[in-house]
Chains A and B, each alone.
Chain A
Amino acid sequence: MSMPSRGIAVGRSGLGVLWLGLVVLMTCLPLHAAERVNEGLLALYDFRLAKGELVKDRSGVGQALDLKIENLKNVRRSEGGLEVRAQTLIRSVKPASKVSNAVRRSGEITLEAWVRPANKKQEGPARIVTISGNSTNRNITLGQEGDHYDARFRTTETSSNGLPSIAGKSGSLNLKLTHVVYTRNKAGQAKLYLNGKLNSSKSVGGRTGKWDASYRLGLANEMTKGRPWLGAIHLVAIYGRDLSASEVLRNFQAGLDGESVRVELAAKQRTEKEKFFDEEIVPILSRHCLECHDTATRKGKLDLSKKARAFALSNGDKAIIPGKSAESLIWEVVESDDMPDEREPLTVEEKRLLRKWIDDGAVWTTEEIDPLAHTFDRRATENWVRRLTVSEYIRSVKSVVGVNIENEARELLPADIRADGFSNTAYNLKVDLKHIEAYSTLASLIVEKMDVRAFIDRYNKRLNLTDNSMRGFISNMGRDFLRGDLNSSEVAAFRGITTTVTGTGGTLEEGVGLMLEAMLQSPRFIYRVENQKGDGDVWPVSEYELATRLSFIIWGAAPDKKLLELAESGDLYAPEVMDEQIDRMLADPRALRRSLEFANEWLNLNRLANMSPNAKRYPGWSRELANDMKAESLAFFEEVIWKQNRPMAHLLNADVTFATPRLAKHYDLSPAKGEGLARYDLSGVPERGGLLTQGSVLTIGGDEASMVTRGLFVLHDLLRSGVKDPPPCVDTTPVPTKPGLTQRSIAEDRVANKSCGGCHGKFEPLAYGLEMFDGIGSFHKKDEHGNALREDGEILFPGSAKPVPYKTSAELMDLLTASDRVGQCLTWKVAQFALGRPLGQPDALALDKIHQAAQKGGGTYASVIRAIVKSDLVQKIQTESDNEE
């Protein structure tokens, strides 16, 4: 072993006792100190403070878990080390919930420490690092048992004390500064490493669902004292995953170098720069630059939409030089207002942000910038407590008490208003007086419809109005009703209702009924209440919150008993359990209903019922035909997504549909026998096949079958893109068709026009293939003037430079189906509906991952849902710190 290349901070104080450690360390570290591993880090203590009673958590992850030294006179502090000279306890000021919750979910941990024991006699084991409640209840403990190290890790197969433990080799402990690492993976393999080498291993099976988040983190003693450890501690790190042997070695090689520890801080700063790029720079580039400098246009051979191309012109000149705004071409032209060309210049503030970004290193996150990024609400990820939509309310009532309240709820509750494409957008789910009255009335109606006695018996057949009996009942039943444990004051509040009933001579059933009425009006029933408070960082959601999110996303309803039980045990965090539950839920009919609700919202099918096309022009239109069109699209969705389990993109070209005789006639199909919807094989009907050829979608163009409207639908809702405002002084008045002038020729004129074509060329050709369908979806080869219609065209996919030609409508559908951009857009749509909020640039990276995972899974609805619920967007929450209010 050779001396590390960088010095050790712990020795700089000149304390003799620490110098000894330094010398020892120098003898055991390699020549080239490595960078420490950051991924999965939960807590980090480098003991940098040389005085005071606080030991700072410097992980920068979640809420800092700082430690407090109980008896300062029994320790000696230095810059980079803490020597415990006599019995004390160094304990976190609050529960180590960020560690415990993470490990509950992952089933994995790495506990790392640089320590120098004071002697080889201390045992118990003497606690070096522990997360525990007392001497017999713990999550994890790393300790010293005489001449070896010992680690206890609690699982469902160990005792609450984490026994049996894993012991290091006898005699392997010495009094030198030692790098000790305990790892445990979810398969149950536990390992103990000393100075980067495996010392001991053992299988510690079971799950970590019983880890107690209320336990604190302690050093040098048990929480209840009595297990003191003496010696020096120079670093403690905890990860929520098991580090591999090479990663353990890397951390050992990194040594105690202050520089290497600061890598974590640098990583945090990088995260802040990434955030700055996402939130400040992407909207500027999108708003001011991409109109001319996207992949398709690339004016001046500069493409600012893609990470791979943004920094240089194609001739090799540097457009952006990280750290050097003055030498960056982009800054030069923006500062002088030479760019944007013929558009408003950047504001002073936008220029300042752009310059700062370049000077700070021009950190770039997402591979490709969304052209609509500037229109995203920057507060898209803001947490809005979610009120249940009307349909979620109905299904949740059904789920918890088995009562069908659909008719009454739809009559009494105001309808949810559509915003940003869906009517479950959380920020818009407000309440008015009518809601309050409806919730109250519905609660009474629901209880009236219940067999309260039978409901009681599900929990306790011997329930009575005495305090103990009722409190137990309220706790058990309340968990199911309100999607999580009730605290004592909540139990007391509900208990108060039954007490009032008793006081007025009421019955047990009456008391429980009124209590249920209160629960049905509780914020915990009407809203999806989650813990949104934290330190401003992203935190994992709790078990019950996760169960609730899963259930509402997949079923649109409250979680069932099974999910709640798994949440209670913590087992839901186990990946294999999560997978099982997702499979179970997707197999339930509620998942199908929820997906149809998505399709209905996405395509805005309720619009059809309100349509009233010009009766002279479209005499065949009727309310019944509109209903048939809606039914067609929903049945088609069910067929492709559920019965055939095909990729979602196949919704664009599947050659099958469903029609009533009325709709079949409208489509020029030979009507099948019978009155209802019948399945039609469209393999011999080239003009039809896929959503875009269905009346439900084709009607969006209005009476004129507007190519602009249809093209924009494809651009926005299938290609997830957009265009800017028309440039000044363009006449935007629509031109009517006439003999010799078709929609297509009018559109081509617009596309050819210098002022219009830049944008219209991006969306009108997307609708060329639909010209043969009139305003209500009938197919014609000629328009009303006798003009021949066409179906050929070309499609320019966002992010690509060259348009792709197509000869027929069917070819257009095939191109759309094969496009990854379309698949990505569908993923975004499902994700928006699942999350109940508009998506923004900060979501882009997570959505990329979701899309990739979904495509690996076949691109089916099930695979998209699976990827969404397993993503950080569902598994975690952006917390808000107190000082943000």
Chain B
Amino acid sequence: MLKGLGGITVGLPLLEEMAFSAAGTAAKDVPVRAFNVFFGLGIPAPLQKEGYEGVLEPLKPLREKLLIMRDVDQVRCDVSGINAHFDGATGSFTAMPAGGEAKAGGPSIDQVVRQAHHPDGLPPGMVPTLIGGTYFRRSRVGRYLHSYNQDGTVAGTMQEKPRDLFDRVFGAVDAGTGGDARKLRLKRSVLDSVVDQYKFYTGANSPLGSASKNRVAEHLERIREYELRAFEMKHRKDKGPKLPPRSELLHGGQADPGGQGIDITLEELTTEWHLMADLYALSVQMDRVRFGSITFLAAGERIRLVGDYDYDGRKIFEFNDPKQLNASGDQGCSHEWWHKFSEKKKNEQLRAHAHMKMREVAYFLNRLDSEKEANGRSILENSMITISTESGDGRHNDSKRELSGVFHAITGANGRFKTGEIMDVGAEGIDVYNTMVGAMGAKHRLGPAKRDRQHISSILA
């Protein structure tokens, strides 16, 4: 019914004004980028000890470009009475206990870096923060969204369908003028008055407090983006990425039926994830996005996965969670393997799931490693990409152990961090993160101001 009324137009072409020029980077300079890659349920710390010979095997081809950090503790993120799926997930990339169901206890590291390098906003045409992912569990926002503003609120809207992500990055906007110059002028007049009002409420005489002012400032930023896409950018229809196919998976509330989990095949899961990862990577390659986060399965994800899992030409496992668990509903989900983890057992189902997750994380990383930039390094090597998860042990019977040894891996960030190692860091996540954002040129530090900070120089190149 609303087709053609101005919703983000389906089949929209690439914007003509590519942001490469707007970025203003010198020929051999590369832009500062920071992305968080989250995967759900984690890798128990004892399995991390096996290095690339165990569940980390799919990351092995990228080992020279990664620093695997073991023994990183996130215990300070514990929120009493809530298990680590939520507090560990909200603490990933923020290192602080959650501030609410949809609020972190502080900013995420990608946003700290963004703020340091672009305090007045990204160049026109860029998406300030891109957040996407393939996930199903959604009882709390912190389970699946991993970019947070300084005040702990989400730094953007989660794009959970490939088409949504495509539209957010590449979509143009139909202002409803039909090319009529007079209509265009009048629409501009309306928008100008709207912009003026938002400017007033973000200005010195605004009656709003700081949190509210920031909120209205974000609104104004989105209006500017709308203005640019609706009135200032010409579009061309001959080039650019094709509109992705419509998603076949469940989304929204249907994807999380009362926390009871969904049935899904490995092929269904990976097909959509690959599309999401491809589009996200393309957005970065085209320099439309420099900051944000991507999620492969939520914290405490509940899926009943079936299908053959092959890697490197060999069959790793046959997923069939409900059958292997002999249960339906939430009790038949792969999530349960994490609860059943034991150092004394083989944990073959958990291993297979974790291995598969690493394969899919590697899929995304490889997309960013496909081409060299002006300095001879790939985007993967030039960016600060942090890969993490919610816990270092899936059993909910010791919150301290659950939030200890949380898997972390980072890329070199254009020579700032060591790579090619597996390191037992033995530090709090907050100190690791602060060392990282410091190396990226940010002055802001996570966590309480009074805290005695530890500089983790061992991770620096």
Contacts and interface: CB of A to CB of B under 8 A. Distances in A.
B341 to A, nearest CB: 10
B400 to A, nearest CB: 7
A434 B211 contact: no
A643 interface: no
A437 B2 contact: no
Interface in A704-757: 704, 722-734, 736
Given A704-B329, A704-B331, A724-B81, A885 B257 contact: no
Given A432-B156, A493-B193, A514-B186, A375 B81 contact: yes
Nearest to B175: A440
B222 A435 contact: yes
Contacts of A736: 327, 331
A433 B190 contact: no
B428 to A, nearest CB: 14
B454 interface: no
A668 B430 CA distance: 57
A430 B215 contact: yes
Given A427-B103, A523-B216, A617-B328, 4 more contacts: A435-B222, A514-B189, A531-B207, A885-B210
A436 B175 CA distance: 11
B237 interface: no
B80 interface: yes
Interface residues of A, number: 98
Interface string B393-437: 001111111000000000000000000000000000000000000
B193 A518 contact: yes
A500 B186 contact: yes
B5 A506 contact: no
Interface in B308-349: 327-331, 336, 339-340
A297 interface: no
B198 A523 contact: yes
Interface of A: 287, 349, 372, 374-375, 377, 379, 382-385, 387, 407-408, 411-412, 414-415, 417-421, 425, 427-428, 430-438, 440-441, 444-445, 489-490, 493-494, 496-497, 500-501, 504, 506, 514, 517-518, 521-524, 526-527, 529-533, 606-607, 609-614, 616-617, 699-700, 702-704, 722-734, 736, 775, 838, 879-880, 884-885
Contacts of A445: 5
B141 A436 contact: no
A565 to B, nearest CB: 23
B329 A614 contact: yes
Interface stretch (B11-19, B94-102, B368-376): B94-102
Nearest to A728: B398
A434 B212 contact: no
A497 B208 contact: no
Given A420-B100, A430-B154, A729-B398, A497 B190 contact: yes
B57 interface: no
Interface of B: 1-2, 5-8, 78-83, 99-103, 140-141, 153-154, 156-157, 168, 173, 175-176, 182, 185-186, 189-194, 196-198, 200-201, 206-212, 215-216, 218-219, 222-223, 225-226, 229, 252-260, 262, 327-331, 336, 339-340, 395-401, 450
Contacts of B331: 703-704, 734, 736
Contact of A523 (B6, B219, B222, B395): B219
B253 A606 contact: yes
Contact of A703 (B215, B222, B260): B260
A610 B256 contact: yes
Contacts of B185: 500, 504
Contacts of A722: 81
A430 B193 contact: no
A726 B216 contact: no
Contacts of B8: 433-434, 437
Contacts of A527: 216
A724 B153 contact: no
Contacts of A838: 100
29 contacts: A377-B100, A377-B103, A383-B209, A384-B212, A425-B100, A428-B102, A431-B218, A431-B219, A433-B225, A438-B7, A440-B175, A440-B191, A493-B193, A493-B196, A496-B193, A522-B194, A529-B207, A610-B254, A611-B257, A611-B260, A617-B328, A722-B81, A725-B81, A725-B83, A726-B397, A728-B401, A731-B397, A732-B396, A732-B397
Contacts of A375: 79-82
Nearest to B6: A441
A524 B79 CA distance: 37
Contacts of A514: 186, 189-190
B99 A428 contact: no
Given A384-B215, A726-B397, A427 B190 contact: no
Contacts of B211: 382-385, 427
Contact of A385 (B154, B186, B212): B212
Contact of A374 (B80, B196, B218): B80
B161 to A, nearest CB: 12
B7 A703 contact: no
B411 to A, nearest CB: 28
B404 to A, nearest CB: 12
A614 to B, nearest CB: 3
B157 A434 contact: yes
B100 A518 contact: no
Contacts of B154: 428, 430
Nearest to A533: B207
A412 B18 CA distance: 28
A522 B259 CA distance: 39
A518 B190 CA distance: 5
Contact of B209 (A430, A493, A517, A533): A533
A179 to B, nearest CB: 39
A524 B7 contact: no
Given A504-B185, A522-B197, A610-B258, A437 B6 contact: yes
A414 B102 contact: no
A414 B141 CA distance: 15
